[in-house]
A and B are shown apart, each in its own frame.
Chain A
């Protein structure tokens, strides 16, 4: 059957999509914590920077961010004499991480604020420094709260990787376009494509559920 010929190149693209999803989900988690914690920082500069970051990346379209990083940033770099020419993979992963990180930062902030005030008081009475309190007391309690939202964001991120095909990254959607360019067999190709993304999303959801259970083990005994 003709569709069998599509599978090999599509799998090649799917592998790029998987890598990109993993990298940018991890990167997104990093930015989530960086700016989520930054937003609650007593340091005013850190707070304003974080708010600015969150508003900009949540307030603009991912595709615009992607094009900007890919086409505009190198030119600006040239104008000021730095090489800001990110390879497509890096530009794609960075745009995805920043975008998902901005949404994640709000999740982190919400979960941190949900840690009961009393926990901070005990930590103080035991003489923990604010930094120790953050790392040892509040974050570990907040992380399980974040996990369901992070699960949704990870799937969102997987879907968003399709947009990097528009900056010539050989991901799943890009490969599909190439094949269609050649064969004009739209129905078959797009049907396979949708099913492949759906399958990947289901796997990702399952992984995030496992992760959720493992970080929240101490909550199991809760009444």
Chain B
């Protein structure tokens, strides 16, 4: 029994059917962690990208080093670090938030690169034309560059959303009750491991196929020339 739902071990199919609702509870947590992690990464990534683009090397250089460091160290270790070390300094977050933060921190490094590439892909000629018309730097960024960069950035961010989802099981080690953890608990209690683990695999496959299709759809629907301004 988990979440008040009993399972039925009389045969494999009934067992699978009876644990499905339990796994779906875990799936809900998986999706929540994905979304929160993604939002954190999107915001932190933007900050990192801005810092890296700073004129002063005193700001840009450490930001670049930090990005490299975050990209080159395992999510698991970053997670442990946040989970065990932050509380030593009085920052106490629930396991779920710590996990989502770890996902966000790791992926912020990747996303900062997406932002940078997206902005740089907007032709230099656009900036020059804006400058020749004397548009202010702020307006140039907000009205000329950003609307053109967004359609290039969003699909790439979407792909990272899928990656984050696939990394959520790592949070099970700090006992976030996401799908894999739920499957493990079912296994611990029922002593049947193959079925819950296989079901998690299958659910993941379905989920990522849907999400990837969604990203592709979005990619075809976004206006390539930029968000239209009338």
The chain A residues found within 8 Å of chain B, CB to CB, are 55-56, 58-65, 67-68, 71-72, 75-76, 155, 159-163, 165-166, 173, 176-177, 180, 186-187, 190-191, 193-194, 197-198, 201-202, 205
> Which chain A positions have C-beta within 8 A of B205?
55-56, 59-60
Whether B193 contacts A72 by the Cβ 8 Å rule is: yes
Interface SS majority for chain A: helix
A186's nearest neighbour on chain B, judged by CB, is B84
Contacts of B173 in A (CB 8 A): 166
- Chain B contact patch, size range: 35 or more
**Cβ contacts under 8 Å, B166 to chain A:** 60-62
Bound-state CA distance A39–B76 (Å) is: 33
Q: Which residues of A contact B27 (CB under 8 A)?
A: none
Contact indicator A63/B169 (Cβ below 8 Å)? yes
Given known contacts A61-B168, A61-B180, A159 and B209 CB-to-CB distance under 8 angstroms: no
Give the CA-CA distance A86 to B212 in the complex, in Å: 32
A-B contact list, 14 entries, CB within 8 Å: A60-B204, A63-B180, A68-B197, A68-B201, A159-B73, A161-B74, A165-B76, A166-B76, A180-B84, A186-B80, A190-B85, A191-B81, A194-B73, A197-B77
Q: Is the CB of A60 within 8 A of B208?
A: yes
Interchain CA distance A72-B194 in the complex, whole Å:
5
B200 partner residues in chain A, CB cutoff 8 A = 64
Check A159 against B72 for contact (C-beta < 8 Å).
Answer: yes
Say which residue of B69, B80, B168 sits within 8 Å of A190 (CB atoms).
B80
6 closest residue pairs by CB, A with B:
A201-B72, A162-B74, A186-B84, A63-B169, A159-B74, A59-B208
User: Known contacts A68-B201, A72-B193, A197-B73; is A186 also within 8 Å of B88 by CB?
Assistant: yes
User: Using Cβ atoms and an 8 Å threshold, which residues of chain B touch A180?
Assistant: 84
| Nearest CB of chain A from residue B117's CB, rounded to whole Å | 14
Render B75-111 as a binary contact track against A, CB cut-off 8 A, 1 for contact: 1111011001100100000000000000000000000
- On whether the beta carbons of B81 and A190 are closer than 8 Å, the reply is yes
- Cβ–Cβ contact A202 & B77, under 8 A: no
In the bound assembly, the distance between CA atoms of A151 and B199 in angstroms comes to: 33
B77 touches A173 (CB 8 A): yes
Does B198 have its Cβ within 8 Å of any Cβ on chain A? Answer: yes
Q: How far is the CB of A54 from chain B (nearest CB, A)?
A: 12
Could you tell me if A64 and B74 are in contact, using CB atoms closer than 8 angstroms? Answer: no
B114 to chain A, nearest CB (A): 14
Interface residues of B in 160-194 (CB under 8 A from A): 166-170, 172-173, 180, 184, 187, 193-194
Give the nearest-CB partner of A197 in chain B.
B73
Contacts of A65 in B (CB 8 A): 201
A173 in contact with B208 (CB, 8 Å): no
The contact of B197 among A72, A159, A161, by CB within 8 Å, is A72
Most B CB within 10 A of own CB, among A59, A76, A186, A193: A59
Task: Report the minimum CB–CB distance from B190 to chain A (whole Å).
Answer: 13
Complex Cα–Cα for A197 and B84 (A): 18
Given contacts A68-B197, A75-B194, A180-B84, contact A198 B73 (CB under 8 A): yes
What is the CA–CA distance of A56 and B85 in the complex, to the nearest angstrom? 36
Interface string of B195-215 (1 = CB under 8 A from A): 001101100110011001000
Q: Check if B197 sits within 8 Å of A194, measured CB to CB.
A: no
What 11 additional pairs, Cβ within 8 angstroms, besides A63-B180, A160-B74, A202-B72? A59-B204, A60-B205, A64-B200, A67-B197, A72-B197, A155-B71, A162-B75, A190-B80, A190-B85, A194-B73, A198-B69
Complex alpha-carbon distance, A166 and B184, angstroms: 13
Q: Provide the bound-state CA to CA distance between A55 and B212, in Å.
A: 11
A104 to B209, CA, bound (A): 18
**Chain B residues closer than 8 Å to A176, beta-carbon distance:** 77, 80
Q: Please give me the residue from chain B that is nearest to A99 by CB atom.
A: B166
Distance A205 CA – B194 CA, assembled complex (angstroms): 38
Q: State A141–B72 Cα separation when bound (angstroms).
A: 29
Q: Which residues of A contact B75 (CB under 8 A)?
A: 159, 162
Chain A residues whose CB sits within 8 angstroms of the CB of B187 once the complex forms: 71
Residues of B within 8 A of A205 (CB): 72
- How many Å from the CB of A219 to the closest CB on chain B? 23
Query: Which of A56, A63, A76, A177 has its CB near the most chain B CB atoms (within 10 A)?
Result: A63
A194 CA / B66 CA spacing, docked (Å): 12
